[in-house]
A = this chain, B = another copy of it.
Amino acid sequence: MSEPTEGIGDMSIKDEEKQEAGDEDDVVNPWEVATHSATGVDYDKLIKRFGSTKIDDALIQRIEKVTGKPVHHLLRRGKFFSQRDMHMILDMYEQKKPFYLYTGRGPSSDAMHMGHLIPFIFTKWLQDTFDVPLVIQLTDDEKFLWKDLTLEQANHMAIENTKDIIACGFDIEKTFIFSDLNFISNSSAFYRNMCRVQKLVTYNQVKGIFGFGDSDCIGKISFPAIQASPSFSSSFPEIFNGRPDIPCLIPCAIDQDPYFRMTRDVAPRMNYLKPALIHSTFFPALQGAQTKMSASDPNSSIFVTDSDKQIKDKINKFAFSGGGATVEEHKEKGGNCDVDVSYQYLTFFMEDDERLEEIRKTYTSGELLTGFLKKELIEILQKLVGEHRQKRATITDDVVRQFMTPRKLKFDYPPPTPPSEKKKKKKQKSAKAV
C-alpha cells in the first residue's frame, strides 16, 4: 500500500533540492511557496521530488465508479493532482469499511482568503460523497511559535476562522473542529500520541525534512508531532470509540506533504496505519502564479470578508492579465490562459465545464477581452463571497462551541479488540512498537 522508497531518509528538503538541480527555483515547504515561472510551480517535478503519485485518469474513473457520481471539478481539472494510498481508501470504501478525513488550517489572520477555502470546499465534497467523519485542526500553537502573535491572538484567530470553516457547510453531526491550544489541554489521548511521535523523530530528521536550524526554538522543533497526531484515529477516542485502526485520508495543499511523509514514516513503528493523502496545487496570488495567495499581503488576496466593491476593484486593478497590451494586440495575438490569473481563478470556482471551455477558446483567440473575463470572475466571486457572508452571519458562538466539543459523531464503531486478543496477535509480531 505504500511506496517502497518512502521513509524519513528520503525526506530531506535539502537533499532533494540538491538532487533536482534544475528545480532549484521552486521553493515549496510549509512556510514558503515561490517560483520564477509565470505558470507556477512545476508540479510534475514536485511529485518526483516528494515521492507521491500523480492522480491519473484511471484513479478518477475509479472514484466515479465506486461513488456512482462525477468527481468534483477541482479533481477533474487537476487542482487536486497528487496522492498517496488513495486506492487503499477506495478499497476500504468498496468493502464498506470505515475511514475518516483530516484537514486543517494555520490561523494567521482573522479573515480567510479564497485560497484558504479551496481545501475546505473539496473536503466538504469528500465528506458529502463518502459520508465519513471529518476532523479539522487549527494550529494556533504553530502560529504563536512562528509569528509575532500572543497565544491569545492566535487562539482568537482560530475561533474566527472556525466560523468561516463552518460557513463552508460542514455537517455538525459528522465534523469535529479543534484548536490545538484548547484541545491538547483537553485530551489525554491526543497528548499521548504527540509524545509517541516525539519519541520517534530526531532533531536530525526534522532538520532534514523541514529545514529547521540550531537557532530555531524548541517549540518549532517539536511541533511536527502536533500536526502528525490527528492522522491516528486513537487521538479521538470520543469519535472512534477508542479504535486505533480507522484509516485516515488527508486532503491538503502539497506544501503540507513534509509533515505527512514524516507521519507515514513513524506510523508503522507505533502500530498505526499510515494516513492516505490527496494533494492540491496552490491558489495563485492576484499578481500571478509565482507565489500563492497570502493573507499577509492584502493586495494579493480576495478575502471572504471583502465587499462587492473591494472584490471588483482588486480584480480590476491587480489580477495579472494574460491578454495583449492593447485591444488591437489582444485581438491579433490572443490571450494566454496559462498565466492569466482571472482565468486561473475561474478554473477553481466556475463549475460549468462548457462555459469555462468557451471562455478559454474565445480568450485564447483574442475574441474575448480581459475586461470581460474579469467581469465574469467578479460576478462569480461576489456571489460566492456574498453567500459565505450570509452563512457566516448565522453562526452563533453556541454553534462554534458545539462543533468544537469532543464528542461522538453520528457514526458507530464496534469497540477495539480486547487486550487479551491483542496480546495473542502481538506475540506473532516481532517488531516492537512505542
Contacts and interface: CB of A to CB of B under 8 A. Distances in A.
Nearest to A192: B151
A401 to B, nearest CB: 15
A217 B195 contact: no
Given A150-B434, A151-B192, A203-B212, A198 B218 contact: yes
A20 interface: no
A19 interface: no
B218 A221 contact: yes
A216 B218 CA distance: 12
A219 interface: yes
A181 B185 contact: no
B192 A188 contact: no
A1 to B, nearest CB: 27
A100 B198 CA distance: 32
Contact of A203 (B182, B186, B188, B203): B203
A185 B145 CA distance: 19
Interface string A89-118: 000000000000000000000000000000
Contact of A181 (B195, B212, B219): B195
A184 B185 contact: yes
Interface string A190-229: 1110011011111110110000111111110110110000
Contact of A145 (B195, B203, B214): B195
Q: Is the interface of A mostly helix, strand, loop or mixed?
A: helix
A190 B198 contact: no
A214 B207 contact: yes
A418 B275 CA distance: 46
Interface in A160-191: 181-182, 184-191
Nearest to A144: B195
A206 B191 CA distance: 22
A216 B198 contact: no
A141 interface: yes
B187 A216 contact: no
Contacts of A191: 181, 184-185
Given A150-B434, A195-B144, A434-B150, A203 B221 contact: yes
Nearest to A151: B192
A195 B141 contact: yes
Contact of A225 (B182, B202, B219): B219
Given A206-B218, A214-B207, A222-B222, A181 B186 contact: no
A217 B190 contact: no
Given A150-B434, A222-B222, A217 B199 contact: yes
A141 B222 CA distance: 14
A145 B215 CA distance: 23
Contacts of A214: 202-204, 207
A224 B218 contact: yes
A50 to B, nearest CB: 21
A207 B144 CA distance: 23
Contacts of A187: 185
A213 B204 CA distance: 9
A168 B139 CA distance: 42
Interface string A392-421: 000000000000000000000000000000
Contact of A198 (B192, B222, B434): B222
A246 to B, nearest CB: 20
A249 to B, nearest CB: 26
21 contacts: A141-B195, A145-B199, A181-B195, A184-B185, A185-B187, A185-B188, A185-B189, A185-B190, A198-B217, A199-B217, A202-B218, A203-B203, A203-B214, A203-B217, A204-B215, A218-B222, A218-B224, A218-B225, A221-B221, A221-B222, A222-B222
Closest 8 CB pairs of A and B: A198-B219, A222-B222, A185-B191, A185-B188, A218-B222, A204-B214, A203-B214, A199-B219
